[in-house]
Structure 1
Amino acid sequence: MSKLGNIGARLHRGEVSYDFIGHRKIWFGVSLALVVVSLVGLFARGLALGIEFKGGVEYQANVRVTDNSVADFTDAVKATNAQDLGDPVVTTIGTDKVRIQTRPLDQDDIAKVRTAIATEAGVQPNQVSTSQIGASWGDQIAHKAVLALIVFLVLVFLVIWIYFREPKASAAAIIALVHDVLITVGVYALIGFDVTPATVIGVLTILGYSLYDTVVVFDKVRENTRGITGSNRFTYSDAANLAVNQTVVRSINTTVIALLPVGSILVVGTAVLGTGPLKDLSLALFIGIAVGAYSSVFIAPALLATFKEREPGMQALRRRVLAKRGGAVTNASGMPVPAAAAAATAGGGGTAVAERPDRPQDRPRSGGTPVASSRPKSSAAAGRPQPTRKPRSKRGK
């Protein structure tokens, strides 16, 4: 078995664990910082909407690309003095094509700009391809994209609510999804990549990927917390943290496997092709998959545990668990540590094996072998010999 597989098996059995839920303030702080940076970039720089959203005219011409191609074609287009031209957007596609995008123009100005581009490229005007997109059509596309996102989030909320029968799970998943969207959009604003319909497709795709990973973790949380209020061994946060440890290696494996081909497409679309749908789609996928994996491990389960711990039943369970543990055994983050694990760690006896709520031997027993009482004894009682019960065969009739 590989080293990662061995670690995953030990995490699943509860032999080792990391306190993901106990460090929730750190993860929330990191996410808050990323969201703030994304919002600053979004409002300060704005999104570079592609021509499909804002409308305009796009020209493409075959030309040998040089270091001065962008500046030369920009100057050539500006020299036409077309009305409402603005600043043309000139990009190179590979090493043999240039693309120029302008604001919507009338027919005379379109022909004028087309001739200027052909002259700069050294080709005939009919060899310069032209496509026009109206501003109203671009607005319709933008509205439909926003509507699709809203409908997606509403359906996600309802489906998770029905599946888990828990509105708090739906709320945690939706907050994690919004977190993923804000960071992805913020990166687009900071980098300056064009937002095209391919970008919208990529964003919707990564939302589905993030949701899938979150549902897997939540399903394990539900399995570990089934009937938890009938026991005094584990709090809801303990069981949720165990679920994250049991699924974290799976999340890492699926994320890495998904990022490798998407990263290859991103390199090809950016370095080789220079522009186009591949670059727009792959960038959204790459950022979204990475952020979605982070949120499904560090954010969504911590949010769910935070919401559930506010319920009166879970608060009463936490008080009983802390009272049984003595109320003083905690880890560095303030989360309670099982007494057996704390004793093993303090005595240097190797890796502590944490109690697990999903193992039958760790569940409270209603009959069979008596369980030693955890109630403290008085000093007087501690010095007296305790009565013992005779075997049934030696009792008097």
Structure 2
Amino acid sequence: MRLRLVPQQTSFDFFKWRKVTFGASIVAMIASIAIWLIVGLNFGIDFLGGTTIRTESTQSVDVGAYRDALTPLGLGDVTITEVFDPTFEAGRNVAQVRIQAQDGAESVTPATIAAVEAALQGVDPSITFPSVESVGPKVSGELITTALLAVGASLVAILFYIWLRFEWQFSVGAIAALVHDVVLTIGIFSLLQIRFDLATIAAILTIIGYSINDTVVLFDRLRENLIKYKKTPLQEVMNLSTNETLSRTLMTSGTTLLALLALLVLGGDVIRGFVFAIFWGIIVGTYSSVYVAKNVVLMLGIDRDPKKPSDAGTQFADVDA
């Protein structure tokens, strides 16, 4: 027997609370933008420029002592954070020391890094430095620009594809859902102050790809049913299409989340931000495909004149994709 998370035939009314769900999405987006503007993002070294030194020790991390040891060096903004991870062995204490880019220099000099390491070893002789990462201010600025262009270009390409594949109303609905997913992801990163770096941008692009795939599956079934049930109200056809694809949606999202959950718990702190972004994105992406994309299409309406040919409302349905 095949595994089913839901019965083979369902009749859930996904639009019963459409004003509440759509309104909640708008409120969540506004709140995410407000948090982003007020709190800001915890940018990684990729976007800020500077140097990150990772430390390991058998002794407990004393952030205050570390800071006192580095203050005489006059390095400007220095951020020291202890890294917690359930996969760490007992007695393994990890911290990250982030030093801002120095004025007039592309990166922190080797002499400065050596001075930092010497100062920290004065506090804890057992401390080691397994990794040092440096990014210059010019490079970090270029990375920000490239990241924004990558996200923007992907949204424009998807907008064009959906318009060719379906109709402009579907395209607007799909882009609204993607913007919803991206904004909520940025909002949760700002709220929880999770490190935002190039890996997070890669995760956002992955979210966009996953979300649009889920939306296209729903839109494909909707397009088929629009041709099949020409006189049925649009809202009922949308409900029918969502119910028909519900099992596939839950199975795909559920199995993906299980794999991501394992990585989130056991993968370590190095990839945790990347995995969390995708984990969160799949949840909001599945939600937005049902409660944002189709709500927008319903509000915009579709021309379903029964006197038109059988492909009415799907003028580009014959385009290969």
Compute the TM-score of the two structures, normalised by the length of structure 2: 0.84
Q: Distance in 1 between matches of 2:83 and 2:16?
A: 50
Provide the residue aligned with 1:280 in structure 2. 273
Using a 3 Å threshold, how does the CA distance of structure 1 residues 65 and 190 change in structure 2: closer, same or farther? farther
Equivalent residue for 2:215? 214
Distance (whole Å) between structure 2 residues aligned to residue 8 and residue 302 of structure 1: 24
Secondary structure in structure 2 of the residue aligned to 1:113: helix
Alignment of 1:300-311 (within 5 A): 300-308=293-301
Evaluate the alpha carbon distance shift between residue 10 and residue 128 of structure 1 in structure 2; reply closer, same or farther with a 3 A threshold: closer
Q: Deviations over 1:312-367 (max 9, x none)?
A: x56x99xxxxxxxxxxxxxxxxxxxxxxxxxxxxxxxxxxxxxxxxxxxxxxxxxx
Partner residue of 1:8?
7
CA distance in 2 between counterparts of 1:3 and 1:63 reads 48
The structure 2 residue matched to 1:146, chosen from 135, 145, 148, is 148
Q: Per the alignment, do residues 65 and 189 of structure 1 end up closer, same or farther by CA in structure 2, a change over 3 Å counting? A: farther
Q: Deviations over 1:92-129 (max 9, x none)?
A: 3642433211112354544432321222231589x675
- Looking at structure 2, the residues matched to 82 and 109 of structure 1 have their Cα atoms a distance apart, in angstroms, of 10
Please say if 1:70 is aligned against 2:63. Answer: yes
State the one-letter code of the partner of 2:246.
V
Aligned counterpart for 1:113 among listed residues 101, 110, 116? 116
Summarize the Cα distance change of 1:122–1:301 in structure 2 as closer, same or farther, 3 Å threshold: same
* Unmatched segments (≥5 aa) in structure 1: 12-16, 318-397
Task: Quote how far apart the aligned CAs of 1:238 are.
Answer: 1.4
> Relative contact order: is structure 1 or structure 2 higher (C-alpha 8 Å, sep ≥ 6)?
2
Residue 235 (structure 1) shift: 1.1
Q: How does 1:85-104 map to 2 (within 5 A)?
A: 85-92=76-83, 94=88, 95-104=92-101
Q: Alpha-carbon deviations, 1:148-188, whole Å to 9, x = none?
A: 00110011011111112x01111100000000000011000
Seen in structure 2, the aligned counterparts of structure 1 residues 74 and 266 have a Cα distance that, compared at 3 Å, is farther
Instruction: Determine if contact 1:73/1:90 at 8 Å carries over to the other structure.
Output: no
Deviation at 1:3, TM superposition (A): 8.9
Aligned-pair distance for 1:19?
A: 1.7
> For the Cα contact (< 8 Å) 1:92–1:98, is it kept in 2?
yes
User: What is the alpha-carbon distance in structure 2 between the residues aligned to residue 224 and residue 65 of structure 1?
Assistant: 65
**What is the alpha-carbon distance in structure 1 between the residues aligned to residue 3 and residue 94 of structure 2?**
48
1:34 maps onto 2:33 in alignment: no
1:167 and 1:130 map into 2 onto residues whose CA distance is 49
Contact 1:65 1:97 in 2 (8 A): no
Given the superposition, is the C-alpha separation of residues 18 and 268 from structure 1 closer, same or farther in structure 2, using an over 3 Å criterion? same
Q: Following TM superposition, by how much is the alpha carbon of 1:70 offset from its aligned partner in structure 2, in angstroms?
A: 3.1
Instruction: Quote the offset at 1:302 in angstroms.
Output: 1.9
Once superposed, what is the RMSD of the aligned Cα atoms?
Answer: 2.4
What CA distance in whole angstroms lies between the structure 1 residues aligned with 2:133 and 2:278? 28
1:173 equivalenced with 2:174 (yes/no): yes
1:242 maps onto 2:244 in alignment = no
| Conservation of the 8 A alpha-carbon contact between 1:21 and 1:301 | no
**8 Å CA contact 2:173, 2:294 repeated in 1:** yes
- Give deviations 1:10-63, integer Å, cap 9, x for gaps: 22xxxxx12213432121012122212212211111000000111011223331
Q: Find out whether 1:48 has 2:42 as its counterpart.
A: yes
Amino acid at match of 2:300: F
Q: Structure 1 vs Structure 2: percent identity of aligned residues?
A: 29
Which 5+ residue runs of structure 2 have no aligned equivalent?
103-107, 308-321
What SS does the corresponding residue of 1:9 show, helix, strand or coil? coil
- Specify the alignment match of 1:82 in structure 2: 74
- Work out the CA distance in 1 between the residues paired with 2:33 and 2:127: 46
Flag the 1:252–1:141 CA change in 2: closer, same or farther, 3 A: same
Instruction: For residues 206-235 of structure 1, give each alpha carbon's deviation from its aligned partner in whole angstroms, at most 9, with x where no partner exists.
Output: 111111000000001000101655x3xx11
The SS at the match of 1:57 is: strand
Conservation of the 8 A alpha-carbon contact between 1:173 and 1:214: yes
C-alpha deviation, 1:303, in angstroms: 1.5
